[in-house]
Chain A
Amino acid sequence: MQRVSAKVLERVRQLMADGTVAKVVGWKKGEFFYDCAPSVFETVESLDDLVYDSFCASNLSKYMIKNSVLPEGQTGKVLVLLKPCDTYSFNQLLTEHRIQRDNVYILGVGCEGMVDIEKVKAQGVKGIIGASEKDGILTVETVYGNKDVAVRDVLVNKCETCKGKTHVIYDELISENEDEGPAGDRFEGVRALEAMTSEERFAFWKAELSKCIRCNACRNACPACSCRKCVFDNNASGIASKANTDSFEEKMFHIIRAFHVAGRCTDCGECTRVCPQGIPLHLFNRKYIKDINEFYGDYSAGETAGQRGPLINFTLNDVEPQIVSDREGN
């Protein structure tokens, strides 16, 4: 990661300096070193703050909806750093005409998997002040000295079932990874739920969803949830609950959100990663993905731009809804 990181930073600086790109959408350190937040860089000098390390988990695709619209008079493209999984979201947004491709310079960056600092802390590591990664080992600097942890033990949730190291769209690639294909079984969690009884499932979701504080972090991070104005914010939609007079939105938000992104969700995992309450929201999306694959054939949103999604498509011989009752299981 360190080697790639150094190359990336150098290349970005070069592209900005030679005028190829006028703007960079990347990550910047926050108050803590592991707080890498999306940021827009508009000068070469500002690039001093640009980082790319094991804590840059956020998916920058969504930021290109706004940033691919060039202000009047700007020449030069907008560079965006995309990890392999992020490129699926980018393609999906292209399919939906949300990004002006011509204005974007995609620098594909290799990824070894991102680290969840909470998992590091959970290993009993205290007084963390810095970290660096090399060959799968994260060396954590603490006030008590260095401590090594295996990256695979502290991966953010979405990286545990990494969908592969291939960038499905880019202009330039800086990567040293061989693609070994997807890691792990991403439907394991869905299967575990499916194996439960209906009552157990209900109890599970009731417990999880009751934690929700409706902070909208999931919605804000989700590249598919990118409506100009969310139905839940639109008083004319009949389901907004600004005044909190109605319990519908409060109770159904996640179910409706999951349906709205069904067939469009690239399984980037941002929803779960950003949830401050730790609700496994990806289990909704993956359920839809799993069902879609089973009912209508394998489909991977964002694999190529211009695909016709499964919910805006059909065949004459699709399964009947009755299959839900007829199939085996609880």
Chain B
Amino acid sequence: MQRIGVFVCWCGSNIAATVDVDRVVAEAKVQPNVVFAQDYQYMCSEAGQGIIRNAIAEHKLTGVVVCSCSPRMHENTFRKAAERAGLNPYMVEIANIREHCSWIHKDKEEGTEKACVLMRAAVAKVLLNAPLKAGESKVTKRALVIGGGIAGIQTALDIADAGFEVDIVEKRATIGGRMAQLDKTFPTLDCSACILTPKMVEAAANEKVKLYTYSEVESVGGFVGNFHVKIRKKARFVKEDICTGCGACMAKCPSKKGLNEFNMNLNNRPAIYIPFAQAIPNVAVIDPEQCIKLKTGKCGLCEKVCTAGAIDYKQQDEIIEEEYGAIVMATGFQPIDASKFDEYSYSTCPDVVTSLELERLMNAAGPTGGVLLKPSDKTHPKSITFIQCVGSRDVSGRGKCYCSKICCMYTAKHAMLIRDKYPDVEVHVFYIDVRTPGKNFDEFYRRAVEQYDVDYIKGQVGKVYEEDGHLVVQGVDLIANEQIILNTDMVVLATAIEPDPTARKVASMLTASIDTNDFITEAHPKLRPVESPTAGIFLSGVCQGPKDIPETVSQAGAAAAKVIGLLAKDKLLTNPCVSHSNELLCNGCSCCEKVCPYGAIGYEDKLINDHGVRETRRVCVVNEALCQGCGACTVVCPSGAMDLKGFSNKQIMAEVDAICR
């Protein structure tokens, strides 16, 4: 006789507000075999878990149903609690009455009814649960970091420092990412390149770190501890190991129309180019869209001038296959397209620029050699106006609902740098709020206002347009409560940042969840902020949410620590929910073997005793270490010999029956 306990969580008001937990408890008590039911504010808390443990002991429970949040959130918590009380952890089932119920239904009656059905289904299932024991799997002691910006570099260096091998895959021709494009960094105003490039060099020099630049992840298979990854190393048309980075090819290349991505397309570069002077690897790459040789077959100048003989027009993409124990996503961000906000005339006025473009315009290695000039006529501006929150905290639907977090600080930085270098330039900043939480951040902002006399105007800008060779900014000063019309020479838009567009694709391959803004979801927003809910996938940098450099670096280190913790293990416990075959029912037909993606199913001739009849039969044998528990085999098995532990035919049908009752 089974003895089931049902535990209903309020999740504070998250569940209790739309689900009448008392009714769920009452309904639970009348379910067959349920001998105990109780509700509690927070089942996942120590006190809540204590209730479960005590009930298991006191009521000799053989199975537990917890009606709470998603099993993806706390299934493990409750399994562990059960285990501590001496119950097999797989005798626990979760009824998801939060994500799948209380959070989506407004009507309490409706929510309660559904919660009762979900509880009933979980009880029906748990009655058919069997105790399971986890197996073991090996851990490949190597990590993959996707993205070679500061987040990826820092994570890789920290992992390597612990003695593990780590590969960085970077889609661009050099590592360095967005930080390499920045001029100075807040709040210390040290040069971005000066602090980043040593790290880039360190990554290249570290023998535990392998760089795959100009490469993309093609596919990911496997599971935590045992990922198989295919990496596409795109053709550079330059032999990476031979090129010395001398730059002779760049000087001779006759095709100079390529847009310089590193300089935010503000100037041009040759078809063969090294992205920037400190690029790692310091190796040229040919842009096949611009290269005359690759497009027409004529030219070949770079090949002629390359004394090292590094040019290879026939180079093909290469697929590299590697095994990893852990994968870190560090795919970074991009500024959103400012042309969506055409009231600021970004697409029509060259003197309206984004903040990242301004970084390049102020950088000594940028298109103007660090001299701030108006892009339109290359003259010195007399007045610059900054507009904050372009696409951030946006309710119009054109931008992002979130705060991009870094804009207030970099705008203060830009304003201060301009006032410092060109005291004759007047600087205005239109803002909604100035947000400066962070060590030395508010002091920094106050310096801009108090010491550098930057004119901060609380209010939004309605329109920017060109008139008589200068720009007109129409805005409103909310404090003075008056309309402002400003003549200015340049407008800088603090555009929102969004996850790099590759993040979605990579996340799909990794089966990592992403949110509605394409940021990668954490396993827990507070308690597991650098892990994805998918085991073995970790998060570093802006791919998880907007953050500045110090935050990125700390998170990169945290992700590395998690990776190290995983790679330090010799064995991982595996999912015991694997297939198993009933020998007596097996026809020996091999259908299951053919659909198994892991080669986990084999056949053997075995002496079978079928109710007294002894005969040798060809029967299926499942290798439980290889089986990942997808269940493909269970459906092709016509005799029903093959079943899946934890998700058996009977269990699922019991759920179906309970729901359709």
Contact = CB atoms under 8 A, between A and B. Distances in A.
A and B touch in the complex (CB under 8 A): yes
Interface of A: 69, 96-98, 226-231, 234, 236-239, 260-261, 264, 308-309, 311-313
B618 A97 contact: yes
6 contacts: A96-B587, A97-B588, A227-B639, A229-B585, A231-B640, A234-B585
B380 to A, nearest CB: 59
Contacts of A98: 587-589
A97 B639 contact: no
Given A96-B587, A239-B649, 11 more contacts: A96-B591, A97-B588, A97-B589, A98-B588, A227-B587, A227-B638, A234-B585, A234-B639, A238-B653, A309-B591, A312-B594
Contacts of A312: 591, 594-595, 636
Nearest to B592: A312
Given A69-B615, A237-B640, A312-B594, A226 B653 contact: no
A226 B587 contact: yes
Contacts of B640: 231, 234, 237
B86 to A, nearest CB: 28
B636 A311 contact: yes
A93 to B, nearest CB: 9
A228 B617 CA distance: 11
B568 interface: no
B302 interface: no
Top 8 A-B pairs ranked by shortest CB distance?
A227-B639, A96-B589, A238-B650, A231-B640, A260-B638, A312-B594, A237-B640, A97-B588
Interface residues of B, number: 23
Nearest to B593: A312
A239 B653 contact: yes
A98 B588 CA distance: 7
B591 A231 contact: no
Contact of B594 (A238, A239, A308): A308
Interface of B: 582, 584-591, 594-595, 603, 610, 615, 618, 636, 638-640, 649-650, 653-654
A253 B389 CA distance: 64
A260 B589 CA distance: 13
Contacts of A227: 585, 587, 638-639
Nearest to B651: A238
A229 B584 contact: yes
Contacts of B582: 236
A238 B649 contact: yes
A98 B610 CA distance: 17
Contacts of B638: 227, 231, 260-261, 264
Nearest to B652: A238
A72 B433 CA distance: 91
A116 B618 CA distance: 39
A230 B639 contact: yes
Contacts of A226: 587
A100 B75 CA distance: 48
Given A238-B650, A308-B594, A312-B594, A228 B587 contact: yes
B639 to A, nearest CB: 4
A237 B636 contact: no
Interface centre among B589, B618, B650, B654 (most CB of A within 10 A): B589
A156 B385 CA distance: 91
Nearest to A232: B640
A264 B590 CA distance: 13
A308 B653 CA distance: 29
B327 to A, nearest CB: 24
A182 to B, nearest CB: 27
B586 A228 contact: yes
A147 B643 CA distance: 58
A311 B586 CA distance: 19
B590 A237 contact: no
Given A230-B639, A237-B640, A97 B590 contact: yes
B591 A229 contact: no
Contacts of A311: 636
B590 A96 contact: yes
A237 B649 contact: yes
A238 B582 CA distance: 14
Contacts of B636: 311-312
Interface centre among B582, B586, B587, B650 (most CB of A within 10 A): B587
Contacts of B589: 96-98
Nearest to B654: A238
A309 B593 CA distance: 13
Contacts of B587: 96, 98, 226-228
Contacts of A239: 649, 653
Contacts of B610: 228
B639 A228 contact: yes
Interface centre among B590, B595, B640 (most CB of A within 10 A): B640
Nearest to A309: B591
Given A237-B640, A312-B636, A228 B585 contact: yes
A194 to B, nearest CB: 26
A69 B636 CA distance: 25
B588 A231 contact: no
Contacts of B603: 97
A155 B622 CA distance: 47
Nearest to B617: A228
Interface centre among A229, A239, A313 (most CB of B within 10 A): A229
Nearest to B648: A238
Nearest to A224: B638
A228 B618 CA distance: 12
Contacts of A238: 649-650, 653-654
A264 B584 CA distance: 22
B591 A228 contact: no
Contacts of A308: 594
Nearest to A237: B640
Nearest to A262: B638
Contacts of A229: 584-585, 639
A85 B636 CA distance: 25
B610 to A, nearest CB: 8
Contacts of A69: 615
Contacts of A236: 582, 650
A231 B653 CA distance: 14
B639 A231 contact: yes
Nearest to A227: B639
Interface centre among A227, A261, A309 (most CB of B within 10 A): A227
Nearest to B653: A238
A309 B595 CA distance: 11
A260 B638 CA distance: 6
A308 B595 CA distance: 10
Nearest to A238: B650
B609 to A, nearest CB: 13
A260 B636 CA distance: 8
B617 to A, nearest CB: 8
Contacts of B586: 228
A234 B590 CA distance: 21
B595 A228 contact: no
A271 to B, nearest CB: 15
A230 B650 CA distance: 16
A42 to B, nearest CB: 20
Nearest to B636: A312
Contacts of A313: 594
A237 B636 CA distance: 15
A147 B590 CA distance: 51
Contacts of B650: 236-238
A47 to B, nearest CB: 28
A200 B490 CA distance: 74
Nearest to A226: B587
A96 B589 CA distance: 4
A227 B636 CA distance: 13
A160 B586 CA distance: 36
Contacts of B595: 312
Interface centre among B594, B595, B639, B650 (most CB of A within 10 A): B639
A229 B640 CA distance: 9
Nearest to B610: A228
A227 B587 CA distance: 6
Contacts of B591: 96, 309, 312
